[in-house]
Structure 1
């Protein structure tokens, strides 16, 4: 199917809707937190919790938010060895500034997520179903997207050592702002947008993928 002249469509990302007054709260598994301010430290268990209209800071080890519902949440200045959001539901979440060892978004349902000014060792979007993601000014050592379904996703001024898109289903996924040293399985990049320079860099691998042998004259 031919793309429209406006493609790729930009992600529709809006800031979290936060109240003027926030109440300090303590994290707990399956907690129901509304209009709260959380300062996370150590190993934190927020699995299956609900966070709505919250502001979060963190200097922590492992933050487990597996299966959580996270809506209108602003995370700033995070330092964490691991942030687990596997199987979570995310809507209008912004994470800005800081360092995360592993950010696990696998099998997560995402609608409006902004990642900005972060250093991430490993970002896992495996089998995620995501619409409207903006990743800006981030360094991501390894980016995995196997079997992910991504719509309206854009990278701006980002760098990565390795990108794994195997089985990716992409619509309006803009990788022009992602400076990646290596892509695993370029055949899975169908549906993404790249610059001419990026395509030139990938040309030998793309040729192999369609059965073309590339060999210069001696």
Structure 2
């Protein structure tokens, strides 16, 4: 179960950031709350190479902008929406993201370790060459997301919908897909080597497997 804000050990130390978020900013124990922002969002922000540690983001909408190379360590996010934002080459460590949404986001080359997504929606997110280790997608929806050339290790997806995912040239190690309510791989079926699926999921994927090796199935 996702933690609540009051459960965070650093909650009482949180303060609002002084001024606008800045490139190469170093932020410890800050809370960025959409309720305190004009219009509740951050448009076209440039926060590249920043660092957030023991920090919280709540009800914030990021539209476009860049947070490339930013590091998120021990952060908690709830009701955060990202649209067309650049998060490429970011680093996420010990993070929890609850009821968030990403659409048209670039996360290519990002590194995520011990990250938990719960109740989140991902639409057309670029996860190419991403590095995921001990990452959970719980009750999430991932649609038209591209994990090509990524490395996924100890990833789980309980209760999640995986629709039209690309896994071309991805490397999967101890990836458990059995909890997915929908498992639809549009590209890179051979990259499922290293994943665990159920017998029913295998039956559902059988037509795609046949097509991928040039087998025609005709009754």
TM-score higher than 0.5: yes
- 1:215, distance to aligned residue in structure 2 (A): 2.7
Pairing 1:77-116 to 2, within 5 Å after superposition? 77-116=79-118
Which residue does the alignment assign to 1:215?
218
Q: What secondary structure, in the 3-state scheme, does the structure 2 residue paired with 1:104 have?
A: coil
1:149-172 deviation per Cα after TM superposition (whole angstroms, max 9, x unaligned) = 111000011113311000011101
Paired residue secondary structure (1:80): strand
Give the alignment partner of residue 202 of structure 1, picking from 193, 201, 205.
205
> Could you say what secondary structure the match of 2:204 adopts?
helix
Q: Residue 205 of structure 2 aligns to a residue in which SS?
A: helix
Contact kept? 2:103, 2:124, Cα under 8 Å? yes
Mark the runs of 5 or more structure 2 residues left unpaired by the alignment.
1-6, 35-40
CA contact (8 A) 1:86 1:107 kept: yes
- In 2: Cα distance, 1:130 partner to 1:103 partner: 17
Is 2:16 the partner of 1:24?
Answer: yes
Name the counterpart of 2:54. Answer: 53
Determine if contact 1:18/1:72 at 8 Å carries over to the other structure: no
Match of 2:187 in 1: 184
What's the counterpart of residue 142 of structure 1?
Answer: 144
Change (3 A) 1:207 1:80: closer
- Partner SS for 2:54: strand
- Consecutive unaligned residues of structure 1, counting only runs of 5 or more, are 1-14
Contact 2:103 2:122 in 1 (8 A): yes
Aligned partner of residue 167 in structure 1, secondary structure:
coil
What is the alpha-carbon distance in structure 1 between the residues aligned to residue 92 and residue 112 of structure 2? 5
In the superposition, the TM-score normalised over structure 2's length comes to 0.83
Higher helix share: 2
Report the 3-state secondary structure (helix = DSSP H, G, I; strand = E; otherwise coil) of the residue aligned with 1:161: strand
Cα RMSD over matched residues? 2.1
Provide the aligned length of Structure 1 versus Structure 2: 202
**Alignment partner for residue 169 of structure 2, among 162, 167, 170?**
167
Relative distance call for 1:108 and 1:16 in structure 2 (3 A) is: farther
Higher relative contact order (CA 8 A, sep 6+): 1
Worse overlay, 203-212 or 42-51:
203-212
Change (3 A) 1:126 1:63: same
Which protein has the bigger strand share?
1
